[in-house]
Structure 1
Amino acid sequence: MQTLDNEIKLNQIRQGVIVDAAGEAWFTGLEAAEQKSVLYQLNFICMQAGPTTADVLPAIEHAGLKPTFTPCVMLQHGKLREASSRALQLPSAEYLKLFRLMMALFKIADQRRREFCGAHCQHWWHQDLSNEEILLSIREQH
């Protein structure tokens, strides 16, 4: 899958256009190498949204994960950018937990970013990604 398609899909999950269960099903249907690639991309866009360490516990709760799971422990300690980068090195058995946690963190951080951005935001990822015309326009421009 192309990088833009993955980024659109991740943002559709963030917006709720694709429900969490369907997003997880999509992710688990990928080969391990593609899952890792998606996790790298998710980490990148999540960190661009500006999560803080204060967002980690609510993200763990939102993701329905135990705080003692390895990805959760890693993100709770140290600098968030460094911790999330280290978490990308976890074995494939941890990928789904990391995906769920990073998606929840992305949702929290990006909600704050959208509020900051305001009503006149022009970022494509803040547009209505359920609208096929908008999706077509994004794909044509990028």
Structure 2
Amino acid sequence: MIGTSSEDGAGLRRETERVVNEVAQELRTLDDGAAWFSGLSPAGRQEALRQVGGYAMQAHITAADGRAGVARSGVKPTANPSVMICMDPPRYGFSGLPADEHVKAFRVLVSVFSVADTRRRETYCKGACGHAWHNLPVTVEES
């Protein structure tokens, strides 16, 4: 499990960024990403949820992205994270949900981010993208 010291926090941020972008680019399955997330400490899960929520905001998710992401996530549309992300505007604060909803929240957030980020890669970044996270290597090395 990953601790919450400031040194481990930086490592967790980098690892979360990598895992989420690998899922978004279909270099890793959502189930693999959720398994990684489940292995984090409770504090690590909360921090990862805050970070992925930030990615979703930066990707400018829409309510339509929310609905498409929820459909991909395997989480019921009536679950709290699903309802929150499909609001217009989307609601955040997933790390504040009860701990038993964190895996659902992660699945929803990553799925919605994947939808929005794919749209952005295919429009704004098509052909001339300088974002390192949009240019991950095709093969994923095991940690």
TM-score of Structure 1 vs Structure 2, range by shorter chain: 0.7 to 0.9
Alignment pair present for 1:120 and 2:122? no
Percent of matched pairs sharing the same residue: 33
Q: 1:33 aligns with which of 43, 65, 70?
A: 43
How far, CA to CA, are the matches of 1:8 and 1:52 in structure 2? Answer: 23
* 2:107 counterpart (90, 100, 111): 100
1:47 matches 2:43? no
Structure 1 segments unaligned to the other structure (5+ residues): 136-142
CA displacement, residues 50-109 of structure 1 (integer Å, 9 cap, x when unaligned): 1101211111111112111111122233421xx123x33101110000000001100000
Q: Secondary structure at the match of 1:11?
A: helix
TM norm structure 2: 0.83
- For residues 69 and 24 of structure 1, the distance between their equivalents in structure 2, rounded to whole angstroms, comes to 17
Name the counterpart of 1:129: 137
Structure 1 CA distance, aligned partners of 2:88 and 2:44?
27
Residue in 1 that maps onto 2:4: none
Counterpart-to-counterpart distance in 1, 2:27 and 2:87? 32
More helix by share: 1
In structure 2, distance between residues paired with 1:52 and 1:78: 7
Q: Find the aligned partners of 2:66 and 2:15 in 1 and give their Cα distance.
A: 27
- Provide, for residues 11-62 of structure 1, a one-character-per-residue CA deviation record: whole Å limited to 9, x for no partner: 1121121221111111111111101111111111121111101211111111
One of 54, 60, 66 as aligned partner of 2:76: 66
Unpaired segments of 5 or more residues in structure 2? 1-7
Deviation, 1:5, is 2.4
- TM-score scaled by length of structure 1: 0.83
Distance 1:121 1:78, change over 3 A: closer
Q: Give the letter aligned to residue 6 of structure 1.
A: T
